[in-house]
Amino acid sequence: MSRARLRLLGAAAALALAAAAPFTPALAQTPMDDPLDARDAKRVDRMERVVRELRDIVFKGQKTGAPVVVQPADTDARMAEQANHISDLEQSLTRLNGSLEVTTHELDQARRATAALQTQVKLLSDRLAADEQKAAEVAAAATPPAPVQSVPPDPKAASADAFAQARQLMLGGDYDAAEAAFGAFVTTYPDTPRAPEARYWWGKTLLVRGDYARAASAFIGAIRDWPKTAWAPDAVVELSRALVSLKKPGDACQTLAELGRRYPKAPPAVVNHAAAIRAQAKCG
């Protein structure tokens, strides 16, 4: 048995003797030689205080004759209070742990939601980039290419092609298109070597359509310098024909008179055609 327990039993025995017999001064207790450790010493001190309190209560009851009521020691009350306080703290800690678990769960959910949002944002960003790329490709395809600096065509070659096309239209019997083509040639290439001949053929198409005034103007432009070409004698006869249709027989006869002087070796067909027009105009 420990020394502390022996001292507690001795104190309880002394208290019992004091309650059963008249009050006598307490005998001094001889302290034990062996030292106690700090923990046992504190327990002993607490028990000694309790014993002193109990002894005071007993002595008070002996003096007053009142019944002895043993109240719980202040130390026990404080210990009970501390126990209650600890219980409250434990309950508070339990509530805090529950709140912490809820908060942790909500935080995990928020993290998952954030990760999902980040994934959606990345998908939308990729889709937007793809749409922008497609729009750029469509815009690039719709943009017309820059004009290529080409060498201007040779006027002589271009005029030859234009004359050939107009002549082909006339040979094909499309006089309306031939008239437009020869008229465009005369306007576009007025100073080219084939411009007089183009005027001759242009007059032919106008004469077929009955546009005698413009036909006469075209023939005059064709034979202005009395060119030495195969078509020139016929152009003179066609001019006189247009003048007869315009009710100008005198001008027609004068034109036919120039035919023999300018083109004495005209083809027989042209000469015969001139004789017929001369008779129509009643030339003297």
Q: Phi then psi for 73, rounded to 5 degrees?
A: -65, 150
**pTM, two decimal places:** 0.47
Question: What is the distance between the alpha carbons of residues 77 and 80, in angstroms, rounded to a whole number?
Answer: 5
Angle among Cα 231, 237, 240 to the nearest 5 degrees reads 140
Closest CA to 260 of 226, 221, 233: 233
- Residue 124, CB half-sphere, CA atoms under 13 Å: how many? 6
Provide the residue-wise pLDDT of the chain in tens; the chain has 284 residues.
445 444 544 555 555 445 444 444 444 444 555 555 677 778 788 888 878 877 777 776 666 766 655 555 556 667 777 788 788 888 888 887 787 777 777 777 767 765 765 766 566 567 656 766 776 675 566 555 555 545 445 677 898 999 999 999 999 989 999 999 999 999 999 999 999 999 999 999 999 989 999 999 999 999 998 999 999 999 999 999 999 999 999 999 999 999 989 999 999 999 999 999 999 999 97
Burial label, 280 (beta-carbon count in 10 A; 0-12, 13-18, 19+): middle
